[in-house]
């Protein structure tokens, strides 16, 4: 007869069998971990996910990106950044089960957070179909819903800036064309400026190399030796959406860039009119002791060899413009005698051009001013003759802050109508020692704006006094005003009657400078009413602003005028 086990016997049997196997942890879709808010609802909690490795960036960013098949909610991201030990063997495409703690890491200087999983346990699992790559046809309405995910941008992006390439391995790109300096196209503090700022933020995207390393020797997404031009079109851009460092949307690129290069303007611009006037910021043309030594100097070239390369680029640019008069900025302020910077530059321009050469410089006798850099004016003796005397404005705020302007009147031929050329270089936007009215008001105009406005007022008042003694009211203000077209100093001069030569000439979207991925004009040509009536044309030669720094004399020294400066030269045509 079979005996029925007692409850005690059952309990003893279970005890001898040992502990029960623990149930495996519940697996959450990444979308549930990310959530649809700025921070994960699971922050600080332990979760388990199953996902494929989309990129191993532990060497550069300290983690990997993973992505799963999705949770069916378009408002949540299916990708995630995971921190795990460097010795954990993983490879792109591999599927993993990961258990860890959810964290929200600061994204640089911004208030954004990067949802991150700090892994405690990682196990390889059976392969599954690779997660889909999201294809974008336009700026997505919600980048947060794509954080950590692989995307491919099917529309061309415009290369908006490359000043971060050599330092951080990143490029600034944009949907729908260049990004414009807000104060180039709209008045500071206006609703229109706010709209431009918002539109720039919406369209801007950083293309990154998957690393936080400074000064990389190369970047994996560009072929060795590639030199880019701002304005180039980038197609089929692919990478992982990320928001670290400054909080800007960026792609950690997972495929090489396809670049449709922007063509260099090989030929210099042509303008109508028998009289041609140019302006050019030389970007710190210093020549040591004038005898081949004295390097490194305070600014500019560090060696005599670099200075020779810099000079060759500047000479090529100036000769190619074929101007009759040129206003120059950022010359070393070291007098006018033999061996001075302006003397050496003019000699170099004249080299091989005849016994004495055609070019000469205006000698103001001293300075102007005592700033390490100054403005200058050069001219062709076969085309124009000075009228009256050179004049400089050395009253404050010129001198210590803004560089001292120089004016000289000229006449073309014996019967030409006199005109006055004024070379200018206003105080820069840097904030060193700025205070009070000159402090940054966060309106896009930077520091020292009040000084630049006062400089504009004083400049206009000075020119009403006929400082050259020529009697001419036809004048052109040229140079680097360190103010974009819709900023207060330029608006002040416009209110005083000075007219923008490029607007008068009908030039669409002129620009001469690219900074931090934004395009605009710091270099201007402003005309008195009489000079405006004589204007026949205006052009910029985009040899510099769009070029990579590496093309310049301190880098690869690409032959020709390319990156001879960080500013583009201007050329105007007038009736003689």
Sign of dihedral through CA atoms 320, 519, 175, 71? positive
- Which tokens go with 445? 């105009």
DSSP 445: S
Look up the domain containing 191 and give its range: 135-145+148-260
The reply to whether 15 falls in a domain is no
The reply to whether 11 falls in a domain is no
In this structure, the answer to whether residues 347 and 467 fall within a common structural domain is yes
- Which tokens go with 236? 């089929």
- Which tokens go with 530? 């009489």
Quick one: average pLDDT of 13-35?
72
Of 177, 82, 45, 70, nearest to 133 by C-alpha is 70
**Chain mean position to CA 224:** 22
Tell whether the model's pLDDT for residue 457 goes beyond 80.
Answer: yes
* β-pair partners for 57: 63
In this structure, the answer to whether residues 405 and 322 fall within a common structural domain is yes
319 CB-side CA count, 13 A: 19
CATH of the domain at 492: 3.60.10.10
267, 314 Cβ separation under 8 angstroms: no
Of 52, 20, 47, 21, nearest to 32 by C-alpha is 47
| End-of-domain residue from the set 260, 285, 303 | 260
- Place 86 in a pLDDT band, splitting at 50, 70 and 90: confident
Tell whether the model's pLDDT for residue 376 goes beyond 90.
Answer: yes
The reply to whether 13 falls in a domain is no
Contacts of 468 (CB under 8 A, 6+ apart): 387, 388, 389, 390, 391, 407, 408, 409, 420
Of 12-26, 40-54, 352-366, 368-382, which gets the smallest average pLDDT? 12-26
| End-of-domain residue from the set 260, 295, 325 | 260
Residue 405 three-state SS: strand
In this structure, the answer to whether residues 305 and 156 fall within a common structural domain is no
Give the pairing type, strands 134-136 and 150-153. parallel
In this structure, the answer to whether residues 359 and 417 fall within a common structural domain is yes
In this structure, the answer to whether residues 355 and 245 fall within a common structural domain is no
| End-of-domain residue from the set 228, 260, 292 | 260
Other CB atoms closer than 10 Å to residue 186's CB: what's the count? 21
Of 21-35, 153-167, 287-301, which gets the smallest average pLDDT? 21-35
Residue 97 three-state SS: strand
The reply to whether 65 falls in a domain is yes
Other CB atoms closer than 10 Å to residue 94's CB: what's the count? 16
Tell whether the model's pLDDT for residue 124 goes beyond 90.
Answer: yes
Our count of domains for the chain comes to 3
Model confidence over 359-375: pLDDT tens digits?
999 999 988 999 999 99
Quick one: average pLDDT of 12-27?
58
In this structure, the answer to whether residues 93 and 170 fall within a common structural domain is no
In this structure, the answer to whether residues 531 and 382 fall within a common structural domain is yes
Rounded to whole angstroms, the Cα distance separating 428 from 410 reads: 29
In this structure, the answer to whether residues 282 and 298 fall within a common structural domain is yes
Tell whether the model's pLDDT for residue 353 goes beyond 90.
Answer: no
How confident is the model at residue 107, as a pLDDT? Answer: 72
CATH of the domain at 35: 2.40.50.140
Q: Name the pTM for this structure.
A: 0.91
| pLDDT cut 90: percent of the chain above it | 87
In this structure, the answer to whether residues 210 and 109 fall within a common structural domain is no
Model confidence over 274-324: pLDDT tens digits?
999 999 999 999 999 999 999 999 999 999 999 999 999 999 999 999 999
Rounded to whole angstroms, the Cα distance separating 326 from 342 reads: 12
The reply to whether 201 falls in a domain is yes
In this structure, the answer to whether residues 360 and 390 fall within a common structural domain is yes
Residue 431 CA: distances (Å) to CA of 232, 243, 357, 435, 523: 32, 28, 43, 8, 20
In this structure, the answer to whether residues 364 and 377 fall within a common structural domain is yes
């Amino acid at each position: 007869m079979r005996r029925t086990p007692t409850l005690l016997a059952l309990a003893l049997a279970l005890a001898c069998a040992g502990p029960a196997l623990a149930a495996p942890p519940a697996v959450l879709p990444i979308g549930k971990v990310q959530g649809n808010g700025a921070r994960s609802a699971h922050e600080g909690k332990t979760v388990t996910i199953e996902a494929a490795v989309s990129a191993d960036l532990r060497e550069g960013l300290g983690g990997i990106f993973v992505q799963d098949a999705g949770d069916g909610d378009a408002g949540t991201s299916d990708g995630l950044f995971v921190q795990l030990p460097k010795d954990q063997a993983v490879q792109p495409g591999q599927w993993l089960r990961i258990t860890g703690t959810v964290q929200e890491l600061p994204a640089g200087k911004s208030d954004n957070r990067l949802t991150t999983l700090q892994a405690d346990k990682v196990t390889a699992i059976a392969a599954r179909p690779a997660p889909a790559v999201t294809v974008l046809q336009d700026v997505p309405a919600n980048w947060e819903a794509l954080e950590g995910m692989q995307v491919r941008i099917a529309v061309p992006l415009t290369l908006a800036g490359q000043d971060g390439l050599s330092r951080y391995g990143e490029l600034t790109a944009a949907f729908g064309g260049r990004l414009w300096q807000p104060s180039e196209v709209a008045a500071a503090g206006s609703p229109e400026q706010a709209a431009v700022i918002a539109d720039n933020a919406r369209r801007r995207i950083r293309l990154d190399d998957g690393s936080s390393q400074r000064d990389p020797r190369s970047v994996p997404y560009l072929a060795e030796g590639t030199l880019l031009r701002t304005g180039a079109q980038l197609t089929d851009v692919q990478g992982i959406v990320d928001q670290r460092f400054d909080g800007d949307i960026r792609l950690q690129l997972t495929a090489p860039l396809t670049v449709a290069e922007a063509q260099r303007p090989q030929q210099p611009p042509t303008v109508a009119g028998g009289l041609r006037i140019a302006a050019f910021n030389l970007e710190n043309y210093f020549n040591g002791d004038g005898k081949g030594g004295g390097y490194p100097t305070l600014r500019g070239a560090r060696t005599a060899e670099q200075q020779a390369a810099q000079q060759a680029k500047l000479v090529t640019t100036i000769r190619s413009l074929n101007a009759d008069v040129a206003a120059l900025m950022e010359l070393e302020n070291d007098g006018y005698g033999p061996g001075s910077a302006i003397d050496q530059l003019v000699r170099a321009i004249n080299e091989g051009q005849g016994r004495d050469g055609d070019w000469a410089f205006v000698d103001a006798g001293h300075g102007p001013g005592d700033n390490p850099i100054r403005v200058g004016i050069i001219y062709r003796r076969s085309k124009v003759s000075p009228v009256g005397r050179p004049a400089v404005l050395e009253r404050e705020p010129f001198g210590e802050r803004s560089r001292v302007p120089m004016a000289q009147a000229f006449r073309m031929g014996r019967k030409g109508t006199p005109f006055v050329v004024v070379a200018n270089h206003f105080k820069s936007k840097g904030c060193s020692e700025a205070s009070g009215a000159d402090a940054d008001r966060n309106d896009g105009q930077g520091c020292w704006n009040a000084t630049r406005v006062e400089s504009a007022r004083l400049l206009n008042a000075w020119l009403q006094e006929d400082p050259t003694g020529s009697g001419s009211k036809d004048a052109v203000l040229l140079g680097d005003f360190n103010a974009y077209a819709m900023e207060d100093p330029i608006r002040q001069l416009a209110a005083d009657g000075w007219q923008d030569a490029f607007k008068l000439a009908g030039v669409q979207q002129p620009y001469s400078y690219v900074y931090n991925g934004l395009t605009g004009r710091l270099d201007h040509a402003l005309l008195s009413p009489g000079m405006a009536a004589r204007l026949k044309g205006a052009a910029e030669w985009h040899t510099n602003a769009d070029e990579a720094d590496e093309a310049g004399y301190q880098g690869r020294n690409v032959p020709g005028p390319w990156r001879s400066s960080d500013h583009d030269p201007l050329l105007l045509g007038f009736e003689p």
